[in-house]
Structure formats: structure tokens, C-alpha cells
Amino acid sequence: MLFWSAKARAPSIVMAVALAQFLTLLVCVPHASSRLLGSSFGLPIFDIFNVTAPVTFDYIVVGAGTAGIPVAVRLAEAGSTVALIEAGSLHYLGNGNFSQVPLYASAFQHTYAGSLINPIVDWNLTTTPQAGLHRLYPQGKAVGGTSTRSHQAFTFAPKSSYQEWADAVDDQSYSWNNFHPHLIKPINFTAPSSHRFPNSTARFPPHWRGHTSGPLQLTFGNYAWPWASWVKKALTGLGFEENSDGFVGGSLHGVGYQLSTLDATSFTKETSDSSYLNGLGINNQNLVVYANALVTRILFDASKTASGVEFDYGGLQLKMACRKEVIVSAGAFRSPQLLMLSGIGPRAILEQHGIRVVSDLAGVGQNLGDQVCAGISRRVSIPTTAELQWNAEAAVQALRDYGSSPPRGPYTTYAGDLLAFEKLPQIYRRKLPTSIRNSLDLLDADRPELEFVAFSAYGGPQPGFLGSPDGHNWATLAVALSSPFSRGNVTITSARAQDNPLVNPAWMNDPRDAQMALQGFRRLQDILSSTLLQPVLVGHESFPPASVLKTDAQVLEFVKTYANPLFQASGTAKMGRKDDPMAVIDSKARVFGINNVRVVDASSLPVLLPGHIQGTIYGLAEKIADDIIHTDKKTARPRPYSTTDVIPEQVPMGRHD
């Protein structure tokens, strides 16, 4: 489809490709089985392109994000009719090419008050004050969801985390071996190309070569930032092993280049819409996408069975009905919000807002897990993103490289292209109180406690995003707590979906995390002082200045004030056993206490996974879709739309009174 394949290219190329595609479309239309441009999108009031579109769907999926699109696409493939309802629109319209060019991934994402934000493709959510500060927490509001905001890192958690998951939900289908087929089903892998520098070899599981059957393209950038190579050399010198599997083999320990969700031809960011929707779903007539539609409530009949949803479409309050299920994939903050607005959640909160209780579930909105990081920026003598911001010649060359075939150079990769994971080494561990050491010792051997990210840009507060406040090259090394103990929560501030939920990440609320952050930061300082990095560090200028990081109290103060999330929020409608009072969904993602509602997204995760969670979310979406399809034999039979799909006696579309 012309619109969906629009990529960030030089305008002339775009126009030429567009013209060719348009001509092809014109030639093909009379015989085509595919739909007309735009027909994949529904108008909930009327649909002039597809007048036979049913008002009642088998499934309604709420949220066209990282999980929602794969679930909707797979169900439609299996023959069910699916309405995919998304509050946002197309990120190409709202965010230009900032959601496409890999280097731009962190555009409009600073978390400090006063940062540049883009209200069109983001929910503009502000957390409750953390250490006295309100923080912005980016979340995608677009077809593609937060995959359009992501920094493209693709990892799987260590094997023990999936085992912990399987044990927590009493379902061994989540063990590494059993879950693995679903985790890799999305993947279409391309090995790194020869355009990377020779000293930046990227590792990946050898058997992934040729694994191209999935819709989601993964590869490595056609460039490695010099800072990444220097940090890798330093970490290796300090005893880090290289992670030989690119962080997707079931172990995160070690250092390596970031495997990324990247289109291996255009070197644009791969998202759930560019992969699943554009690649698979767009021509499937069973799937209709309703954009700009904010679901405000799930509707239930007298037997607490979901019958459809109510939504806000440009101010109109509309309803849509489903025959089978409502699948909530609205993300870690908005899935619990929607459940609460629909009467599913902690009784006291619902009653406080005058919401009728349908299922009193204490765990809705609780158990919010997230990783938190802090870094040090230093002036460096090697090229960083500052070159693209301040050096016209370098910027023009980088654009030329990106426009060449194949694209190469710094625009093909994210600025944080090197990751490393470890347990806190003994020398720092010994400084922790015994009780904290004991807690850490309970973590599995393959579960990392720290993650490092080498970022070729300035990391201090600044309104821009490309990387340098002063024209000098700056680089950052950040450390994150991979296995924090703190848990926050999400709640509602009103009975209206239009109001953002209240998010309290509770970063470092657990004293164990504060002590771990202190020792992790000391480890970070020591890495930056290593002789192996000295050749590229310039002077002593840094953010924060060394003078404010002398005592432990100063470090803790800095970390608490400047810590950022790694944006891996999860667990707010967690999966669990029926006898777990905080569990919201069972191991098939079905919400307890009601019928025909599932939650499939980051909020479903029962365990805070180390590393980056999008890979697991795609895998979970595949797994639950597979479960649904296999337990519902009828939906497994392909069936095109027909006018008989219109069931007038069910809740009609249109203005509701």
C-alpha cells in the first residue's frame, strides 16, 4: 500500500516510488483482491469504501500498539473479523520521519520538565513527583503504539526469568524452551552487513541466519559509533565477556552491539505497524483499523460477559459490539486505566470515582515494574551525534550516506548502540549491607543486576535530542538497575479515559535499590576512569561535575534527582494463578471474574524482565493469539466478510444515547 510503505527517503526518491506504486495500483485495481488505498481503515460512523463492513466483529482489540497489532493481525489471518481500535493516528503524519530514522529514536523524549515533546504521537504523561520532580514518561499514541517511540533494542530475558514466569503462573508453556517458538515467530533476521567498521563485529545466534519467516525485521545498524567501540574495548579489558548471542540466546551477561528492530533494506525503524500491519494485515479484509478512536469503557451484559466497547470518536460517543472477546492491548499505563473505567479493579478506587464494580481485582494498576538508569557524560575526542548537529560537512555526508544504496552511516543506527549486562562485582557488593546481599543472592545466576548503555550524545538535561549543548563532542555511559525491587502503581484520577492515569513509578523507593544504584554508579565511575578509555576522554569536564559526586550522599542525591526510566514499564495487570490476590489475568491472559476479556501487552508480564521487553511482548502476542485460535476452532476457518455479518439486534454503531 502506498501510504504504509512511505519511508524516510530523499523527496525525489519518495515521489518516484510513490508514482510507480500509484501506477501499479491503478493498473491492478480492477483485478486486485487487495483493498483500495485507505480501505484498511474504518470510519465508525460509515465506511464508503466498504459498505458491507459489519457493525459487529468477532474480536475487538483495543490499542494498535506493539502487542495489539500482532494479536489483531493473527486473529484476522485465522479467519475472525477483527476491529482494531486505536486512540492515535499514523505516526508518519504526527511525527514526520522521527519515528522512522533510527538515529532520531530519542527525539522529543526527554523526561525533564520543559523538554520538547510531541503531543500528537505521545500521551504526554507526567509521573507523580519522583524525588521532588515531575517526570515526562513517553508512551506512543499512534498506530504502532510505543514501538514508534522505541530505541529499537531487541533482547530476550535470561532463561531463568521465563522459568520464574512459568512457575508464577503455574503454566510451563512460559518456560524458555516452550515459549521460545513464539518468541522467534515474529522474527525476520538479516545478518550484519560489511558496511559496519571492522572493529565493530556484531554477534548473533548462528542459527538465526536464514530465519526470515516472520514479519518483524531485525538487524544491526550499518554503522557503529566510535564511543561504542571504545567502551566495548574498555569493558572487555575489565573482564566482560562478549555476549555471543546478541542478547537473544537466553543469557544477557556480557557486552555487545544492540540488535535492533530495523528494516534491513531501508534502514528505517521497524515497528508493529511497519511489520505486522503493513506486511501482513493491511490486505486482510477481516481486519479493520479504527484510528483516532479512544476506547472509554468495555461493555458487559448481565452475566459479566463483554459485549463490546464504548469509544470517543472526535467527541462522538459510539459503541461497537463483538461476538467473542475484547482484547485490551492499551499498554502498561492505559490497560489498567481502561479496566478500572470498566469496573475492573480495586473496589475502593472504583467506588471513589463512582464506577460500578464488575470485578473487584486488587492487582489492577499495582506491581508496576521499571528499570531506572543514570549516567555520566564526558567530553570526547571522537565523532558523536554532535557532528551532525554542529558540523555542516559531517551532517551533509551523513545524509548522503543515508540516502545511498544500501543506506549506511550514523543515521542507520541509534546513538546508544552498545549494551552490557553483569552482576554487581564483588568489590562493590561487599559494600552493601548483608541483608541486601542476601536479597541479591536469591536472584538466579543468569539474572543481571546492572545494564550499561554507551550513548554517543550528551546525557544531561537539555531541550534538544541530538546530543551536544555546546558544539563539542560529548558521550555518555549510563548504568541501569536491571533487577530492581521497587514497584510502583497506576491509578485513575477520574472516571474519564480522556484524563491521563496517575503513574507512580516509585523508582528506588525500596532501600535496596538505592544502595544498588549507589554501588552501580561507583562501578560506572570506575569504568570511566579506566586507562582504556583515557585516550578518547577530553579534559575533566563532565555532567555531572566530579565535584558533586564525591561522597556517597552526593551520588545518591544525584541519582535520585536525575535518574531516568529505561522505559520498560510492565506488570500492571499481571498474569498469575487464581489464588494470587494480585493476579489480574490467568496464563491465557483472561481477566479474572468476568468473561471474554483478555489483556495482552506489557501490563500482562508477571515478572520484571531484565533487558528490553519488546521482544517478549511480540512473542506474548503471538502466543496468546495462537492460544485463542487453537481453542476456537471456528475462528480457524478462513471466512471473508459478508453482509450476514451484520447483526442488527446487537449494539449498533452510531451515536449512543
Ligand X SMILES: Cc1cc2nc3c(=O)[nH]c(=O)nc-3n(C[C@H](O)[C@H](O)[C@H](O)COP(=O)(O)OP(=O)(O)OC[C@H]3O[C@@H](n4cnc5c(N)ncnc54)[C@H](O)[C@@H]3O)c2cc1C
Q: Does 152 bind ligand X (CB under 6 A)?
A: yes
Geometric angle at alpha carbon 186, from 182 and 187, rounded to 5°: 115
**Crossing angle of the two packed helices 159-169 and 176-184, in degrees rounded to 10:** 110
First-last CA distance in the chain? 38
| Interacting residues with ligand X between 516 and 575 (CB under 6 A) | 567-568
Choice from 9, 40, 83, 86 touching ligand X (CB under 6 A): 86
**CA 82 to mean position of chain CA atoms:** 23
What are the binding residues for FAD?
Answer: 146, 295
Cβ proximity to ligand X: between 457 and 497 the closer is: 497
| Interacting residues with ligand X between 607 and 626 (CB under 6 A) | 612-614, 617
Cβ proximity to ligand X: between 130 and 139 the closer is: 139
List the grid coordinates of 123.
500521551
Choice from 71, 73, 87, 298 touching ligand X (CB under 6 A): 87
Q: Least Å distance between CB 156 and ligand X? A: 10
Number of residues that bind ligand X (CB under 6 A): 42
Using the contact rule CB under 6 A, the part of the chain among 142-150, 388-396, 476-484, 636-644 near ligand X is 142-150
Q: Does 67 bind ligand X (CB under 6 A)?
A: yes
CA-to-CA distance for 568 and 612, rounded, in angstroms? 7
Q: Which of 177, 158, 258, 176 is nearest to 218 (CA)?
A: 258
List the grid coordinates of 501.
492515569
Q: Does 138 bind ligand X (CB under 6 A)?
A: yes
Q: Does 436 bind ligand X (CB under 6 A)?
A: no
In the β-sheet with 187-189, what is the strand arrangement from edge to edge?
A: 187-189, 216-219, 260-261
CA-to-CA distance for 440 and 443, rounded, in angstroms? 5
Using the contact rule CB under 6 A, the part of the chain among 134-142, 179-187, 451-459, 577-585 near ligand X is 134-142
Q: Are strands 82-85 and 56-62 parallel, antiparallel or unpaired?
A: parallel
Q: Does 85 bind ligand X (CB under 6 A)?
A: yes
User: Taking the alpha carbons of 13, 15, 20, 21 in that order, is the dihedral positive or negative?
Assistant: positive
Using the contact rule CB under 6 A, the part of the chain among 47-55, 137-145, 435-443, 476-484 near ligand X is 137-145
Reduce the secondary structure of 578-623 to three states and give it as a string. Answer: CCCCCCCECCCCEECCCECEEECCHHHCCCCCCCCCHHHHHHHHHH
| Interacting residues with ligand X between 331 and 360 (CB under 6 A) | 331-332, 334, 338
Reduce the secondary structure of 255-269 to three states and give it as a string. Answer: EEECCEEECCCCCCE
Cβ proximity to ligand X: between 231 and 503 the closer is: 503
Using the contact rule CB under 6 A, the part of the chain among 151-159, 370-378, 398-406, 499-507 near ligand X is 151-159
Q: Least Å distance between CB 436 and ligand X? A: 28
Choice from 42, 88, 256, 576 touching ligand X (CB under 6 A): 88
Q: Does 62 bind ligand X (CB under 6 A)?
A: yes
Q: Does 121 bind ligand X (CB under 6 A)?
A: no
Q: Does 122 bind ligand X (CB under 6 A)?
A: no
Using the contact rule CB under 6 A, the part of the chain among 65-73, 76-84, 183-191, 581-589 near ligand X is 65-73
Cβ proximity to ligand X: between 62 and 264 the closer is: 62
Q: Which of 606, 605, 608, 575 is nearest to 592 (CA)?
A: 575
Using the contact rule CB under 6 A, the part of the chain among 136-144, 206-214, 363-371, 429-437 near ligand X is 136-144
CA-to-CA distance for 289 and 282, rounded, in angstroms? 9
Give the length of the chain. 657
| Interacting residues with ligand X between 237 and 296 (CB under 6 A) | 294-295
Q: Does 145 bind ligand X (CB under 6 A)?
A: yes
Geometric angle at alpha carbon 63, from 59 and 66, rounded to 5°: 110
Cβ proximity to ligand X: between 150 and 519 the closer is: 150
Q: Least Å distance between CB 439 and ligand X? A: 26
- Alpha helical stretches, state H, 298-361: 331-341, 347-352
The 8-class DSSP code of residue 227 comes to: H
Q: Strand, helix or coil at 168?
A: helix
Q: Are strands 564-565 and 474-481 parallel, antiparallel or unpaired?
A: unpaired
| Interacting residues with ligand X between 569 and 608 (CB under 6 A) | 601-602
Q: Least Å distance between CB 295 and ligand X? A: 4
CA-to-CA distance for 296 and 222, rounded, in angstroms? 43
**Host H or E run for residue 319:** strand 316-328
Choice from 79, 140, 186, 571 touching ligand X (CB under 6 A): 140
Instruction: Name the residues that contact ligand X, by CB under 6 A.
Output: 62-68, 85-88, 109, 138-142, 145-147, 149-153, 294-295, 329-332, 334, 338, 497, 567-568, 601-602, 612-614, 617
